[in-house]
Structure 1
Amino acid sequence: MLNNKTIAFLVAPEGIEQVELTEPWRAVEQAGGTPRLISTEAGEVQAFNHLDKADRFPVDGTTGDVRAADFDGLVLPGGVANPDFLRTVPEAVRFVKEFFESGKPVAAICHAPWTMIEADVVRGRMLTSWPSLRTDLRNAGATWEDKEVVVCTGGPNTLVTSRKPDDLKAFCQAAMDAFSA
């Protein structure tokens, strides 16, 4: 149980893979936590079902107004455009890095590790991702594994990663375990 812990979900204004946002969000709520949607801009974000526009979601806070200290954990949903945009925004990269520096758990799925590469927090860590990120992660000093979920505790925090939407059940369970510890 998350016992009223607050979990940040960091997303770009557009390009989030919807199911990689909504399934972990639901898992946080079902575990007794409070999910908060953080983006680089106020208003709403546009999710996608692969390449097709899906639902819009209201933003709870922006990277310019929040700090990792405001939360108990972080979820980084995937989608190709989502982390590709986030890694170009210094405030978003700073926000991710703060979770690692403060030892708070982070869960990232699919292409989301791109933002962690930019934050320089994957070196020496074991993780997985969408297969096309394998070389990027290895070049950034990570050990990449092809598994549905990888939980890495060999660093300043617990890091939970998964490859794709088909891995969401295992990803959500491992993330809730990390957030409730």
Structure 2
Amino acid sequence: MRIAFLTAPEGVEQVELTDPWQAAVDAGHEPVLVSTAPGEVQAFNHLDKADTFRVDEVVGEASAESFGGLVLPGGVANPDFLRTDDKAVAFVREFFERGRPVAAICHAPWTLIEADVVRGRVLTSWPSLETDLRNAGATWVDEQVKICDHGSNKLVTSRKPDDLKAFCETYLDVFTKEAA
């Protein structure tokens, strides 16, 4: 299965990109780095620059139709940039419209809020997003990982890098079952 990993050109939390990416590879899936611009994305280890990663597809040219699921890594700057990009927001919304599974960790639900897809859902995130999610109509819970199947697709959310093992196992299980 092809899995889209959507990031901004700069600001993605490296471990929240690389751990889920490697888990997808290990499970026999094809991760695809999608960004708002061609070239490379600059990852960060919290506030320090880390590695760069080659962009495979540009969000304005990519379609949810060609992917089995979407992973939204966090970092503060990454989703903050994505939620201001109309094409990125439309790309995220398209996964929900097509009933494809989506996984988001840490601050990534900011992009989900902008796509207007959290209303009526139960999810988790970095704790500072609790009020934003509630104001957008979601129910926020403080759990390591949360699966919400409200609506036509499943949404997997997680809080932080310490939860990555559970996040990776859960999102891959959900994506695989949804593809079957």
How far off is 1:133 after superposition?
0.3
1:57 paired to 2:53: yes
How far off is 1:85 after superposition?
0.1
Count of aligned pairs between the two proteins: 177
Aligned sequence identity (%) = 71
In structure 2, how many angstroms separate the alpha carbons of the residues matched to 1:153 and 1:30?
25
In structure 1, how many angstroms separate the alpha carbons of the residues matched to 2:60 and 2:150?
30
Residue correspondence of structure 1 range 22-37 to structure 2 within 5 A:
22-37=18-33
Which residue of 150, 162, 166 corresponds with 2:158?
162
1:113 paired to 2:113: no
How far off is 1:154 after superposition?
1.9
Please tell me the root mean square deviation across aligned C-alpha atoms, in Å: 0.4
In structure 2, how many angstroms separate the alpha carbons of the residues matched to 1:159 and 1:31?
19
Residue in 2 aligned with 1:179?
175
Letter in 2 for 1:120: D
SS state of the match for residue 151, structure 1?
Answer: strand
Deviations 1:28-53 (A, max 9, x none): 00111000000000000000000000
In structure 2, how many angstroms separate the alpha carbons of the residues matched to 1:154 and 1:68?
19
How far off is 1:109 after superposition?
0.1
1:40 paired to 2:36: yes
**Structure 1-normalised TM-score?**
0.97
Residue correspondence of structure 1 range 86-101 to structure 2 within 5 A:
86-101=82-97
Gaps of 5+ in 1: none
Deviations 1:78-136 (A, max 9, x none): 00000000000000000000000100000000000000000000000010000000000
Gaps of 5+ in 2: none
**Structure 2-normalised TM-score?**
0.98
